Amino acid sequence: MNTDEAGHDRSGMGEPTAVLPETAAQLVELERLQQALSDSEERARSNWEQYLRAVADLDNVRKRAQRDIEAANRYGLEKFAAELLPVWDSLELAVQNAGKADTRSLVQGQEATLKLLAKALEKIGVTAINPQGQPFDPGRHEAMLAQESRTAEPNSVLQVVQPGYEINGRLLRPARVIVSKAPG
């Protein structure tokens, strides 16, 4: 066996020897690298934990938003139904008294019911579109007929056949209109 004075195997056969730093500078560098590795591992662990918390928070926000949407739909319908109940009551009263009432009181009852309905729709954000005399807007109006007119601007609303409606600025139903055209 080929050994040196310290008894190390120099033949390359046998047990591997540990590489030990030969100078103090190498020892300091090794310690610095070990500390840097330890710090990097700690940062990686911290970042992983932050990532997991962020994923959990995002999942919670998504679930909360879904619950809020479901609640808004459910309670929005309750509000709408509560606004319509007085209209229902008025119509029910009119039907019960139809045989006993005169024409004038029936008309007054219908007018009162229409006012109740208008008030209920207004409370939930529904507004009428009545474009009489305005320029025709295909995004908000539906042309039923084009009619020649010597007095109205071409492509303006001559007559509203049926009003349209919006809810909070969003179109529910376009206004059905008769549109003017130049005499031909």
pLDDT for 81 equals: 86
Q: Let me know whether 50 and 134 are in one domain.
A: no
**What is the reported pLDDT for 77?**
81
Residue 8: inside a domain: no
> pLDDT value at position 23?
84
Residues 71 and 152 in one domain: no
- The pLDDT assigned to 15 comes to 61
58 in the same domain as 29:
yes
- Are residues 169 and 98 part of one domain? no
Asked if 28 and 112 sit in the same domain, the reply is yes
**Gyration radius of the chain's alpha carbons:** 42
Q: Tell me, what CATH number does 39's domain have?
A: 3.90.20.20
The C-alpha atoms of residue 40 and residue 45 are separated, in whole angstroms, by 9
- Whether residue 37 is found in the same domain as residue 62: yes
Q: Which residue has the tokens 């509203």?
A: 160
Rounded Cα distance between 108 and 19, Å, is 106
pLDDT score recorded for residue 24: 84
Q: Which domain holds residue 57?
A: 20-124
pLDDT at position 11: 54
Does residue 93 lie within any of the structural domains? yes
In order of 28, 61, 70, 166, the CA distances from 74 in angstroms are: 69, 20, 6, 21
Q: What is the pLDDT of residue 133?
A: 92
Packed helices 103-123 and 24-96: angle between N→C axes, nearest 10 degrees: 180
**CATH code where residue 144 lies:** 2.30.22.10
Instruction: Please tell me whether residues 139 and 169 are part of one structural domain.
Output: yes
The residue with tokens 């998504």 is 62
In a domain, 141, yes or no: yes
| CA–CA separation, 22 and 3 (whole Å) | 20
pLDDT at position 12 is 53
pTM of the model: 0.56
Q: Are residues 94 and 140 in the same domain?
A: no
Low-confidence stretches of the chain (pLDDT < 50) are none
**Same domain, yes or no: 111 and 137:** no
Residues 30, 61 within the same domain: yes
Residue 112 and residue 130 share a domain: no
pLDDT score recorded for residue 20: 61
User: Closest Cα partner for 153 from 175, 130, 179?
Assistant: 179
Does residue 44 sit in the same domain as residue 110? yes
- Asked which of 75, 90, 124 is the last residue of a domain, the reply is 124
Assigned domain for 153 exists = yes
Number of domains in the chain: 2
pLDDT for 148:
92
Residue type, 77: L
User: What is the predicted pLDDT for the residue at 57?
Assistant: 96
Pairing of strands 175-181, 141-148: parallel
Q: How far is CA 177 from CA 86, 143, 171, 181, 183, in A?
A: 31, 5, 16, 13, 18
> Is 7 within the bounds of a domain?
no
Q: Which residues of 153-183 are buried (b: 16+ CB within 10 A; e: fewer)?
A: eeebbbebeebbbbeeeeeeebbbbbbbeee
